[in-house]
Amino acid sequence: MRNAFHLAAAALVAISVSAQGDSVDRIITITSVEYEMRRSQERTPFPDTLETYPDLEAGGGYRLTPPDNTGEWRARSYQWAPGVIVVNEGERVALEFFGINGDHHSTLIEGYDLEFVVRRGELTRVVFTADKPGLFNVICAEHQPSMTAQLLVQPASAKES
Ligand SMILES: [Cu+2]
């Protein structure tokens, strides 16, 4: 099932991701970011977050690592930066996703049916025409709930008023 999904995602990449050189109205760069905090148990006791929220790590976006033999514990989170992307209806848009941390095999833009992969050190260029106004989620399905950005396509009518 997972492999079938990845094959489907790869097929869509071929359609939606074009080579550099396309004429576009707007280019926006987005990076995949992993925030990480390391702390000694002495300075800050390991919190009971997982007892309060036992499903916290289920989505892959949040990670808590209990203290190791040195007493150090970690908290991590994945996000897209920036978290809000604004374009105007009708624009030809290039979103350039640059992978810094993690591999993001099932990234999708809801409402535009765009699915693609973002890997460490690679640039994934997604070109499309923003022909549907509204607010759409840009989701990495592997790192939820934290790795969701918002794509705002401002309606053309809003520009004129
Ligand atoms: Cu991800």
- For the stretch 63-78, pLDDT in tens is 999 999 999 999 999 9
Question: How far, in Å, is the centroid of ligand 1 from the Cα of 158?
Answer: 33
For 6-61, the pLDDT digits (tens) are: 444 444 443 444 455 569 999 999 999 999 999 999 999 999 999 999 999 999 99
Question: How far, in Å, is the centroid of ligand 1 from the Cα of 147?
Answer: 6
Segments making up each domain of the chain, as ranges: 2-33+79-160, 38-76
Torsion of Cα atoms, 151 then 156 then 159 then 161, to 10°: -130
Tell which CATH classification among 2.60.40.420, 1.10.1060.10, 3.40.50.720, 3.20.10.10 matches the domain 2-33+79-160.
2.60.40.420
- Tokens 């973002």: give the residue: 118
Question: How far, in Å, is the centroid of ligand 1 from the Cα of 81?
Answer: 12
pTM, two decimal places:
0.81
Question: How far, in Å, is the centroid of ligand 1 from the Cα of 149?
Answer: 11
Q: Please determine, for residue 4, whether its predicted confidence score (pLDDT) is greater than 90.
A: no
Question: How far, in Å, is the centroid of ligand 1 from the Cα of 157?
Answer: 34
CB-based contact 103:117 (threshold 8 Å):
yes
Question: How far, in Å, is the centroid of ligand 1 from the Cα of 77?
Answer: 10
Ramachandran class of 44: left when φ > 0, alpha when ψ lies in -120 to 50, beta otherwise: beta
Question: How far, in Å, is the centroid of ligand 1 from the Cα of 138?
Answer: 11
Question: How far, in Å, is the centroid of ligand 1 from the Cα of 118?
Answer: 8
CB-based contact 95:81 (threshold 8 Å):
no
Radius of gyration of the chain from its Cα atoms, rounded to whole angstroms: 18
Question: How far, in Å, is the centroid of ligand 1 from the Cα of 114?
Answer: 15
Question: How far, in Å, is the centroid of ligand 1 from the Cα of 103?
Answer: 6
